[in-house]
Amino acid sequence: MIEARELTKRYGGRTAVDGLTFTVRPGAVTGFLGPNGAGKSTTMRLALGLVRPTAGSVTVAGRRYSELAAPLREAGALLDARAVHGGHTVRRHLLGLARSHGIPARRVDEVLGAVGLESVADRRARGLSLGMAQRLGIAAALIGDPGVLILDEPVNGLDTEGIRWIRALLKSLAAEGRTVFLASHLMSELELTADRIIVIGRGRLLADTDMRTFIESNSPHATLLRTPAEESGRMRALLEARGAAVRPDAHGRWRVTGPTTTDIGELAREHRIAVHELTPCRSSLEEIYTALTGAAVEYRSTRSADANAEEELSCMPS
């Protein structure tokens, strides 16, 4: 468990983290999202005792990180995969960590196996690809078999196989009852991996909810409908007579807002109109996130990427 209460960090006149209160619970992967400069890394550093809060508090496993008797056994972290002595071999790096924290050396082979780095155990860290360095960082985070994992962009540099691997790993760690706190810019990946989501912007909390609720409650109540061309005018009229808003989409379908998907299907059946497609809409995490954080983006280009945020959210099959 990670608990932040009114957590605040100021650097001079700049507020990086602004009164954040949230709880990251065990047994789930919690995604941590926010635009560049929103304060994610600072929050993670505060949780790991690397910076001190200006006000408020953050605890890991019920204590401030600095008060943990065996920190690596309580919380493992990956903040910067390249922050490793380049001259050390993979094995030596992990052995050093284990020895300095009273962790048995056999644990090194276990974590090397868990992250798939056995074959490069004797290679120097500076010769590793970014993807391998990420795996080494994850091995280091796991070395104390901790109940809490704090991972800042662990997917960076991983190829498709690596991304699938880390997704399965994080889900299995959460299923074992661990707390997994994961910052990532890869929305589609986070959507697949995280059970819960915490969104911040300019240091402030914007959302703290489970992923499904976040997507469902922020998605448009709309349905895509395709009928045979000769029936589409009649279908539209029937829908509009019931107060539905009906617009064509770019693929020759009606986008229907108002009635439920079930009601639309029943209406078509009642009037003996064939239905070739009936798709309830939901938005992607990325679209909802862009709309939510539009106002909280600190560094934006003049031709802003969120210029489209005002536009209607798209439709993906639920």
Ligand X SMILES: Nc1ncnc2c1ncn2[C@@H]1O[C@H](COP(=O)(O)OP(=O)(O)OP(=O)(O)O)[C@@H](O)[C@H]1O
Spell out the residues 6+ positions from residue 231 whose beta carbon is closer than 8 angstroms to its own.
Answer: 273, 274
Could you write out the DSSP letters of every residue in 82-132?
Answer: T-S-TTSBHHHHHHHHHHHTT--THHHHHHHHHHT-GGGTTSBGGG--HHH
Site for ligand X in 151-170 (CB under 6 A): none
Comparing CB distances to ligand X, the nearer of 15 and 314 is: 15
Q: Does 11 bind ligand X (CB under 6 A)?
A: yes
| Helix runs in 156-307, H state only | 160-175, 187-193, 211-218, 229-241, 261-270, 285-293
Comparing CB distances to ligand X, the nearer of 44 and 149 is: 44
Comparing CB distances to ligand X, the nearer of 40 and 255 is: 40
Closest approach, Cβ 28 to ligand X, in A, equals: 21
Paired with 177 in beta bridges are none
Show the binding pattern over residues 33-52: x = contacts ligand X (CB under 6 A), - = does not.
-x-xxxxxxx----------
CA atoms within 13 A on the CB side of 67: 8
At residue 254, what are phi and psi to the nearest 5 degrees? -90, 140
Q: Does 16 bind ligand X (CB under 6 A)?
A: yes
Q: Tell me which stretch binds ligand X (CB under 6 A): 10-18, 139-147, 260-268, 308-316.
A: 10-18
At residue 93, what are phi and psi to the nearest 5 degrees? -60, -45
Closest approach, Cβ 80 to ligand X, in A, equals: 10
Q: Tell me which stretch binds ligand X (CB under 6 A): 11-19, 76-84, 123-131, 261-269.
A: 11-19
Q: For binding to ligand X (CB under 6 A), which residues are involved?
A: 11, 14, 16, 34, 36-42
